[in-house]
Chains A and B, each alone.
Chain A
Amino acid sequence: QVQLVQSGAEVKKPGASVKVSCRVSGYTFTTWDIKWVRQVTGQEPEWVGWMDLKTGDTGFAQKFRGRVTLTRNTSISTAYMELNSLRSEDTAVYYCARGCSGATCYPGYWGQGTLVTVSS
């Protein structure tokens, strides 16, 4: 079955970076892109960006451009999201989700979430 398994919770200081991993199984890694979403406690989920796992193409929400880097390691079916220059407002649960394969989008598979806490 399709599974997306994320890395564990992180605690970081302001100004630091965090890298969250998302290991997928149950389908061919490069056939579906990966979306990254975050959710601050008490708020709706918020789009961060996406990556085409075959080509490496990426796209980002305006507010994250320049601060987020998306990468992947196809040999271990794992996608990564790195967020730099952390501030307290970045404290949130970060999710990866399977997105689109060509023109077919099916946002039904999510990772379990990774809590990132930014605190001095």
Chain B
Amino acid sequence: DIQMTQSPSTLSASVGDRVTIACRASQNVNKWLAWYQQKPGKAPKFLIYQTSSLESGVPSRFSGSGSGTDFTLTISSLQPDDFATYYCQQYNHYPWTFGQGTKVEVK
């Protein structure tokens, strides 16, 4: 199985900060990388697919980049609604696998 490793595990930030979350795959997943946001008690919310394509309705402050094994999710200016846990997921190989999550908390 492909291992997905996110860093950091926890990130303390303030409203207005630029936030970057890294995701590394143990094997090449090409461009087939998605990002989700999850809040307690809720299903994961789909943010980005194919590394950098923004899902409809997702604010443009979210962006994704990378290729192969190294990927990044960036929030250009953190908003109060963005405090949550973020997961990357590869969907190039079965089984689809997720990173362990990055919790973005209030500094």
Contact = CB atoms under 8 A, between A and B. Distances in A.
A44 B35 CA distance: 12
A65 B87 CA distance: 25
B83 interface: no
A110 B99 contact: no
Nearest to A48: B95
A55 to B, nearest CB: 16
A35 interface: yes
B98 interface: yes
Contacts, number: 47
Given A105-B32, A107-B89, A112-B43, A47 B49 contact: no
Given A105-B32, A107-B34, A95 B43 contact: yes
Interface size class of A (residues with CB under 8 A): 20 to 34
For the side of the interface on B, what is the size category? Answer: 10 to 19
A108 B44 contact: no
A50 B89 CA distance: 16
B44 A45 contact: yes
Interface in B80-107: 87, 89, 91, 94-101
Contacts of B91: 99, 105, 107
A99 B34 CA distance: 12
25 contacts: A35-B96, A44-B98, A44-B99, A44-B100, A45-B44, A45-B87, A45-B89, A47-B94, A47-B95, A47-B97, A47-B98, A50-B94, A59-B94, A61-B1, A61-B95, A105-B32, A107-B46, A107-B89, A107-B96, A108-B46, A108-B49, A109-B46, A110-B44, A111-B43, A112-B43
- The 10 nearest A-B residue pairs measured at CB: A47-B95, A108-B46, A44-B98, A61-B95, A45-B98, A47-B96, A113-B43, A110-B43, A44-B100, A105-B91
